[in-house]
Amino acid sequence: MALVSATLSFDRFSLNGEELEFYRRNTQIHDDEKLKEHVFDVSQRAFEIFPYHCIRTFSFLRFRIRRSESDYKRLLELGRSRQDALFLDLGCCFGNDLRKAIEDGFPAHNVIASDLRAEFWNFGHELFKSNPATFPVTFIPGDVLDQSFISIQPPLQNRPVTSLDSVRSLLRAKPQSLDFLRGQLSVVHASAFFHLFNKDEQLVIAKKLASLLSPVPGSFIFGSHVGASKPLEDANNKPGMWFYLHSPDTWKEMWEMEVFQGKGVVRVEAALGEQAELNQTRIMRWSVTRF
């Protein structure tokens, strides 16, 4: 998400058939005009506090988690086949993607949501007319760059000794950090996220997520964000905001050589897809899977 100084672009509101049905079901608003009014109302109030591009253009409503159908299917399969599969949606915004995954079968009690501010999650409850009792997914707010929220530690080579029951107890205690999840996460999803940071910050975040990923083969991190065929620095060209866009090749190299420090530990896949809004940029889909 990038900060912008403009009003909502109401003409950009668009949902495909599947998305429209999802929002009808999950808001219990079946009249399309009333649904649009509800979405506009929540979005307007959110935008006044968080003037992000994805809110202004309503792109936060789209299912980014399904940009790679194969990775989305892997997520759901792990939810079925791995009893202790914990799933973190990092940079979850209003929680649309994780709600879709839960609706499609991923166990809600194994889902963890996180974003910079709790207000995002609260607006999600407003959007979907839910509350912590009716939608009891654990939300942990925090700054991913804050060392006290997630520290940089080497990826684990063996399964952690902390039991899943102990992890669940810590989740119920409303933790202020994600460090207790080290080596515990079967899946991490992060979309429209990495491109918000500069090159050095992206490496730091990648190392932090690698430390949380389970060493069990098949555990993976995936997502999508703006990329380019050749790396672009300061891509948004706005003072004080230093975005860095990786190419698929530099993205793979970062994960293999700098995060996991050698080939043969993870399989990294990255490919450019549809055109993004900035010149010379496209949406990059990617995944990092433990061997």
pLDDT given for residue 240 in this prediction: 44
The Cα–Cα gap between 195 and 169 comes to: 34
Q: Is the model's pLDDT at 132 over the cut of 70?
A: yes
User: In this predicted model, what pLDDT tens digit does every residue of 72-123 receive, in sequence order?
Assistant: 999 999 999 998 999 999 999 999 999 999 999 999 999 999 999 999 999 9
The Cα–Cα gap between 252 and 287 comes to: 9
Task: Read off the pLDDT band of 239 (50, 70, 90).
Answer: very low
- pTM check: above 0.75: yes
Domains of the chain: 1-62 (no CATH), 64-290 (3.40.50.150)
The mean pLDDT value of the chain amounts to 93
Q: Is the model's pLDDT at 25 over the cut of 90?
A: yes
Q: Is the model's pLDDT at 273 over the cut of 70?
A: yes
Cα dihedral value 247, 227, 235, 213, nearest 10:
-90
pLDDT given for residue 150 in this prediction: 98
Number of H-type helices and E-type strands within the chain:
9, 9
The Cα–Cα gap between 107 and 89 comes to: 14
Does residue 282 contact residue 226 with C-beta atoms inside 8 Å? yes
Q: Is the model's pLDDT at 263 over the cut of 80?
A: yes
Q: Is the model's pLDDT at 278 over the cut of 80?
A: no
User: In this predicted model, what pLDDT tens digit does every residue of 194-235 receive, in sequence order?
Assistant: 999 999 999 999 999 999 999 999 999 999 999 999 999 865
Q: Is the model's pLDDT at 3 over the cut of 80?
A: no
